[in-house]
């Protein structure tokens, strides 16, 4: 299953025949951006309440998260057919014949002249009315499915780009974790040296065994970062698995990144203030946090 972004756009223009001569055109568009939940906004002409419920149902069945705007715009048109005023023309011809007989004249009425008279010609026009909404509704119901597939295809393409960016961040994060693991033995040695110096300064060369054990316990608790490194590698592996699985993983990935950030903070707190290679661990820890933050920015747009 692909990884879906919440950013996408789809649009279709359709012309619906109304009767024998008229056409009703409309544009149906979908636009989605990131959102914590599924937030649907419909912009439809009045009188389409039943269609609105159908569209909401279709959106909820196909989308999980994102702010989705659906807009239906109708281009109302009127088809005209040329006609003539039969009563007007008949009355004119009758009047022509009566005048000809009354005045003993000859001649025939000129049709071209008659049709140029005001009111002789008329347009049989038909405008879109409420009864035209039935074929419109049926057409939109047929189009919403392919339009949603078009939207999801674009969201999938955006998701591929996000996946590549996230894998690159994970690679850099893995490299930083490996770097810290390599430095860990030297940092432990540095802690032992500092402990020896502190004890020597406090009591001289004669160590109190109980005091030494207490200090060692504190040292182990504060300096051992093996668990943080192990958990970080576990989270990275789980993150990659979710990316490969795809689907609705945005919230899970965000939670994992929160856990990674917590491990990075703990690692920094345990290794802070250590001289020598400890400063390098601090640099790597800060690099971890930077990569985690970059990944979290990208995750905000994953469905």
pLDDT single digits (tens) 192-247: 666 666 666 666 555 555 665 566 556 656 667 888 999 999 999 999 999 998 88
**What mean pLDDT value characterizes the chain?**
83
pLDDT single digits (tens) 252-289: 999 999 999 999 998 888 776 666 666 888 889 999 99
pLDDT at 47: 80
Model confidence at 67: pLDDT above 80: yes
Whether 263 and 238 have beta carbons less than 8 Å apart is answered as no
Model confidence at 90: pLDDT above 80: yes
Q: For the whole model, what pTM was predicted? A: 0.68
Say how far apart CA 13 and CA 15 lie, in whole Å: 7
What pairing do the DSSP bridges indicate for beta strands 38-43 and 66-75? parallel
Spell out the CATH class of 8-78+128-155.
alpha beta
Model confidence at 64: pLDDT above 80: yes
| 219 Cβ neighbours under 8 A, 6+ residues apart | 191, 192, 195
pLDDT single digits (tens) 104-153: 888 888 888 888 887 777 654 444 455 667 888 999 999 999 999 999 99
Whether 271 and 285 have beta carbons less than 8 Å apart is answered as yes
C-alpha R_g of the chain: 39
Q: Give the percent of the chain with pLDDT over 70.
A: 78
pLDDT single digits (tens) 154-206: 999 999 999 999 999 999 999 999 998 888 777 666 666 666 666 666 665 55
**What does the domain layout of the chain look like in residue ranges?**
8-78+128-155, 80-126, 156-299
Model confidence at 297: pLDDT above 90: yes
pLDDT at 78: 45
Q: Find the helix or strand (DSSP H, E) in which 229 lies.
A: helix 226-245
pLDDT at 302: 92
Whether 171 and 230 have beta carbons less than 8 Å apart is answered as no
Whether 10 and 28 have beta carbons less than 8 Å apart is answered as no
pLDDT at 193: 64
Read off the pLDDT band of 80 (50, 70, 90): very low
| Section 54-59 average pLDDT | 95
Read off the pLDDT band of 41 (50, 70, 90): very high
Say how far apart CA 256 and CA 275 lie, in whole Å: 31
Model confidence at 34: pLDDT above 90: yes
pLDDT at 199: 60
């Amino acid at each position: 299953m692909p990884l879906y972004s919440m950013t996408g756009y789809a649009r279709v223009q359709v012309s619906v025949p109304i009767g024998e001569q008229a056409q009703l055109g409309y544009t149906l568009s979908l636009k989605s951006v990131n959102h914590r939940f599924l937030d649907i906004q419909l912009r439809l002409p009045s009188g389409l309440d039943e269609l609105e419920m159908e569209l909401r149902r279709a959106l909820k069945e196909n989308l999980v998260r994102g702010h989705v705007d659906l807009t239906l715009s109708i281009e109302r048109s009127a088809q005209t057919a040329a006609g003539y005023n039969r009563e007007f023309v008949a009355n004119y011809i009758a009047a022509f014949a009566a005048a000809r007989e009354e005045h003993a004249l000859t001649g025939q009425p000129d049709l071209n002249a008659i049709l140029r008279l005001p009111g002789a010609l008329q347009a049989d026009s038909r405008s879109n009315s409420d009864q035209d909404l039935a074929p419109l509704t049926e057409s939109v119901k047929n189009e919403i499915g392919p339009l949603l597939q078009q939207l999801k295809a674009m969201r999938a393409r955006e998701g591929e780009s996000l996946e590549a960016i996230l894998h690159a961040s994970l690679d850099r994060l893995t490299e930083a974790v490996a770097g810290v693991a390599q430095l860990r033995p030297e940092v432990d040695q540095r802690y032992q040296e500092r402990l020896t110096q502190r004890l020597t300064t406090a009591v001289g060369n004669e160590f109190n065994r109980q005091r030494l054990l207490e200090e060692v316990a504190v040292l182990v608790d504060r300096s051992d970062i093996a668990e943080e490194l192990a958990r970080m590698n576990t989270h990275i592996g789980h993150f990659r698995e979710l990316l490969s699985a795809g689907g609705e993983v945005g919230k899970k990935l965000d939670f994992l990144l929160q856990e990674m950030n917590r491990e990075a903070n703990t690692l920094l707190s345990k290794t802070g203030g250590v001289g020598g290679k400890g400063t390098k661990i601090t640099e790597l820890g800060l690099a971890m946090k930077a990569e985690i933050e970059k990944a979290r920015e990208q995750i905000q747009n994953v469905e």
